[in-house]
Amino acid sequence: MSYSPAATRYDSAQFYRRCGRSGIRLPLISLGLWHNFGAKDSYENARAIACRAFDLGITHFDLANNYGPPDGSAEETFGKILREDLGQWRDEMIITTKAGYYMWPGPYGEWGSRKNLLASLDQSLKRMGLPYVDIFYSHRPDPDTPLEETMGALAHAVRCGKALYVGLSNYKPEETARAAKILRELGTPCLIHQPRYSMLDRWVEPQLLATLAQENIGAVVFSPLAKGLLTDRYFKGVPADSRASRDTRFLRPDHITDEVLAKTKKLNDLAQSRGQTLAQLALTWVLRHPTVTSALIGASRVSQVDDCVGATRNLNLTGEELAQIEKILA
């Protein structure tokens, strides 16, 4: 059946937050296509997740050249979804891609050279069937390429119309400040930074968030559910259809330790006392920072998208609840 988006999708104005000091507002919950959109995954399920997200007001879809598996196949899947269903609403969407991780053999298939970034962007556009992406990211800093060259490639992508904005991912605070300065001088200010952040991984707290606030850059934080650990997914073992069972590249059963479960079960009790699921509490918690523009989730089924968006119904965390969370995480 042909898709037609829900008329209610923009009913909640509070669902959007301004990204740094820019004209762009992003949904509090964004959808990432790292998992569950590869060639081996069910196309119908991927399509249903993307369409449901759009129905709920999620306008931001995050991709990278290497999402799959195999590499590139998530962009192909998304290209098909755009062609068959969502493409008519392209101007309502922020679509991103990234380059920097390994994509093809030889000296130009990864890292931060101008050669890699611009060739990779062309490949991504072709796979998605798009003339431009909204945000093009340097996926990781390259210790061996001058930052001026990597930032120059991002700025070039904007100047030649293949990207509207540029972003950084996985850059440390000092690298971020240097990159932001170069991008400003090139006339293409950095819109956004994409770091990992969750209750179980707080590396952004000591400095990065302050640097972003200082530089007027927004943050879209990835893996806010710690790839599924900050949900009720693993409370009764490792389900056969879970990430830790289906795709063990980044989350393995041995990551689900007794220590993690002890903490997440206590967090789950707290979530329930607030009328939330654990996933919802984990999202509420990262969104407590005004610098965090959006929480970038993954989903293996439509019901997870519904649940995650439900977090935004109660974003108020009391001082007492925050203290309880600190105690549990200590």
Which residue ranges make up the site for ligand NAP (CB under 6 A)?
32-35, 62, 139, 169-170, 194, 222-228, 231, 233, 242-243, 279, 296-300, 304, 307-308
State the minimum distance, in angstroms, from the CB of residue 321 to ligand NAP. 19
- For ligand NAP, the closer CB: 218 or 228: 228
Q: Tell me phi and psi for residue 188, to 5 degrees.
A: -130, 80
State the minimum distance, in angstroms, from the CB of residue 233 to ligand NAP. 5
- For ligand NAP, the closer CB: 19 or 296: 296
State the minimum distance, in angstroms, from the CB of residue 105 to ligand NAP. 22
- For ligand NAP, the closer CB: 162 or 233: 233
CB 108, CB 53: distance < 8 Å: no
State the minimum distance, in angstroms, from the CB of residue 286 to ligand NAP. 10
* Helix, strand, coil shares, percent, the chain, to 5: 45, 15, 40
CB 274, CB 314: distance < 8 Å: yes
Distance from C-alpha of 128 to C-alpha of 133, rounded to nearest angstrom: 9
**CA torsion through residues 139, 20, 151, 127, sign:** positive
State the minimum distance, in angstroms, from the CB of residue 307 to ligand NAP. 3
- For ligand NAP, the closer CB: 273 or 303: 303
**β partners of residue 201:** 198
Distance from C-alpha of 16 to C-alpha of 27, rounded to nearest angstrom: 4
Closest CA to 26 of 160, 221, 202: 221
Query: Coil, strand or helix: which one is 16?
Result: strand
**CA torsion through residues 252, 77, 128, 192, sign:** negative
Kindly state the helix (H) or strand (E) to which residue 151 belongs, with its residue range. helix 147-159
State the minimum distance, in angstroms, from the CB of residue 319 to ligand NAP. 26
- For ligand NAP, the closer CB: 153 or 308: 308
- For ligand NAP, the closer CB: 190 or 225: 225
- Token pair for 173: 């605070």
